[in-house]
Structure 1
């Protein structure tokens, strides 16, 4: 363990809440809200204010600041802008002092242990916020500046490797859609005039079952039967390989088990997100299961639906949350190429999935390496 001194954040940086009133905001200023920062520290489509009406004051920041999202700190919305602008007051601009390197602070605050600590200090049940005064008390290790820069550079290079691996996975995702269009044409236009059938006529389409209320009653859980939730479908990358919860025998009796190979389709909150089960599982009534007959393969159906997802989401009625129903899904027009051509597509998708599995394994190793580097870096062991 290093003999570095530690300082409170307030002693080595300032939480800079220089506010700009709405009448001083100019159209060419870049505005950053929480929605413009993702949990990996990237900016997502930052745009000039333009004609947007910003009715409340905003904080000013420059390319010397670090931006720290104080709302729901577990989301780790922490980023280093390379531009000046204004931001939501749920984002705290932090200006490092002369003894603190910005990228060193960035990596320190993004450690999972620090993110967890920040979340534990946040106040508010539904909208937890970390107050600036509490953030200012966080203990920051303070090696000499050259050492801070060396550590930041090592972690930046390790993060760059992870970014490249994720980019490769994204390209492979795009490859599947490109293969679909090459083989079958745009499914929204059906330029090759494939025969059309309603989705409800080419397979079994039914909602998952979760009769008991509350759904998370302890006696329903912790048994041998996998329970797949909506979020696990929405975030599964095409194939559902993992689950967090299980049903007991009692849980299974009030639900239904679906076989591996079932296409899961979300119909509430996350609309028309899809994933193919790789194991037998139950799921709630916010998910629909589809088992195809001899007219369509599951891989073809999943890829076809991916082209419709945005349209279905945008057209979904919204009350407390967006949702669609079985009737909407059953009435969708499915172009049906010859089954053998669909099977060729499925084999090509399987080859792409094999490549993706190799990239995911590599990314997992890089993630573990990065976590190890972080741990060692801030203990002075690099």
Structure 2
């Protein structure tokens, strides 16, 4: 069925917020949620990381936005991120609020329509290293505009598909949280009792090889950007051939843990799942058999005790924050090897389960994407 293309500005009002002066303490720690682009983590925002006062609303460019508005991050690291506002709140200037006229448009339909346009926004954005979306781009964007009843029908279908993929995303997050809780439950505070140096239970002398060699050129190459923050999941990577690598790289196999020595507070650490290459920005760490297991080392490097240790080290701007000597000097209470092996068994079982859920997530994301494309081609 053919429906008209209508510009957002014809049935929505748009605006942005502001940042009250940080020099005025009376503007902060109030009762009004103040949403920043980094707060757009879920499809519905119900919490803010900061709060401002009514006086801040009166004396700054921050404005109160009613629940139900559509929020879109216009620039910064979160550019293109979207959410529905589930509470009355103010926003900063990086967030555009889009308020549909509900006599003409169903907010959830407009949300999905704009979500479908995000790649286009980013492709057409201006700016240097970081793309910027502006209100003019949003207002002039045209979407397929069926009757209100049809908008609600389409939004309901997309809601169901979106719900499936979000539940699978949540299941993966719960699995990651479970692993950390198991680690804490089994080993507790590892900063007490007899301490062991990290360098005594692992080796840090992985072989460096020329990636142009015939036995290495088709191996995958991993840098810190190929480790997902927080989860330790290895992201898809290119081969040495595809990257046209020429400098030497570390060679690792399935017995290693990969840890980023650049800005270690980001907690970038992964279990290697194949033979591969990693950049000099990484430490391939090999547990010593009979002393530690790689699953224990992995969760140890993601733990608060290790994060706390890295924060005590000198912050060198021009070179990696954590050098090999500092990593080797990290001290902790080493649990019995038999207990580590129990942890490893649990971790491996959870990883298998996560793999199945991740496959299901991939399928559900493909389904949502397909339905989204069809909906805004007028084919759903």
Q: TM-score if structure 1 supplies the norm length? A: 0.84
Corresponding residue of 1:374: 372
Matches within 5 A, 1:357-368: 357-368=355-366
- Contact kept, 8 Å, 2:34 with 2:48, in 1: the verdict is no
Q: Which 10-residue stretch deviates more, 31-40 or 138-147?
A: 31-40
- Contact kept, 8 Å, 1:73 with 1:122, in 2: the verdict is no
**Structure 1 residue 232: Cα displacement:** 1.4
Cα gap change, 1:10 to 1:203, in 2 (>3 Å)? same
1:291 alignment partner, SS class: strand
Regions of 4+ moved over 6 Å: 18-21, 50-55, 207-212
2:86 alignment partner, SS class: coil
Corresponding residue of 2:277: 282
Cα gap change, 1:99 to 1:20, in 2 (>3 Å)? farther
Corresponding residue of 1:4: 3
Supply the distance in 2 between the matched residues of 1:297 and 1:183 (Cα, whole angstroms).
Answer: 14
List per-residue Cα deviations over 1:131-158 (Å, max 9, x = no partner).
Answer: 2112211111100011111211221222
- Contact kept, 8 Å, 1:241 with 1:278, in 2: the verdict is no
Matches within 5 A, 1:111-122: 111=116, 114-122=117-125
**Structure 1 residue 211: Cα displacement:** 10
Tell me how many residue pairs correspond in the alignment: 367
Cα gap change, 1:310 to 1:253, in 2 (>3 Å)? closer
Corresponding residue of 1:16: 15
Instruction: Name which of 161, 170, 192 aligns with 2:164.
Output: 161
**Structure 1 residue 304: Cα displacement:** 1.7
Cα gap change, 1:34 to 1:243, in 2 (>3 Å)? same
**Structure 1 residue 53: Cα displacement:** 8.6
Supply the distance in 1 between the matched residues of 2:3 and 2:244 (Cα, whole angstroms).
Answer: 56
Q: Which 10-residue stretch deviates more, 52-61 or 165-174?
A: 52-61
Supply the distance in 1 between the matched residues of 2:319 and 2:156 (Cα, whole angstroms).
Answer: 43
Matching of residue 106 in structure 1 with residue 118 in structure 2: no
Matches within 5 A, 1:227-246: 227-235=221-229, 237-240=231-234, 242-246=236-240
Instruction: Name which of 327, 331, 334 aligns with 2:332.
Output: 334
Matching of residue 268 in structure 1 with residue 262 in structure 2: yes
**Structure 1 residue 84: Cα displacement:** 1.5
List per-residue Cα deviations over 1:145-176 (Å, max 9, x = no partner).
Answer: 11111211221222222222222222222222
- Contact kept, 8 Å, 2:206 with 2:252, in 1: the verdict is no
List per-residue Cα deviations over 1:44-70 (Å, max 9, x = no partner).
Answer: 644422699999632431114211111
- Contact kept, 8 Å, 1:258 with 1:282, in 2: the verdict is yes
Corresponding residue of 2:147: 144
Corresponding residue of 2:345: 347
2:284 alignment partner, SS class: strand
**Structure 1 residue 351: Cα displacement:** 1.2
- Contact kept, 8 Å, 1:297 with 1:342, in 2: the verdict is yes
Q: TM-score if structure 2 supplies the norm length? A: 0.84
**Structure 1 residue 210: Cα displacement:** 10
Supply the distance in 2 between the matched residues of 1:84 and 1:337 (Cα, whole angstroms).
Answer: 49
Q: Which 10-residue stretch deviates more, 339-348 or 365-374?
A: 339-348
- Contact kept, 8 Å, 1:181 with 1:187, in 2: the verdict is no
Supply the distance in 1 between the matched residues of 2:357 and 2:39 (Cα, whole angstroms).
Answer: 27
Supply the distance in 1 between the matched residues of 2:121 and 2:318 (Cα, whole angstroms).
Answer: 30
Corresponding residue of 2:245: 251
Corresponding residue of 1:215: none
**Structure 1 residue 99: Cα displacement:** 1.3
List per-residue Cα deviations over 1:217-254 (Å, max 9, x = no partner).
Answer: x9xxx941211010212448345363135347973662
Supply the distance in 2 between the matched residues of 1:142 and 1:118 (Cα, whole angstroms).
Answer: 19
Gaps of 5+ in 2: none
Supply the distance in 2 between the matched residues of 1:18 and 1:230 (Cα, whole angstroms).
Answer: 35
Cα gap change, 1:183 to 1:170, in 2 (>3 Å)? same
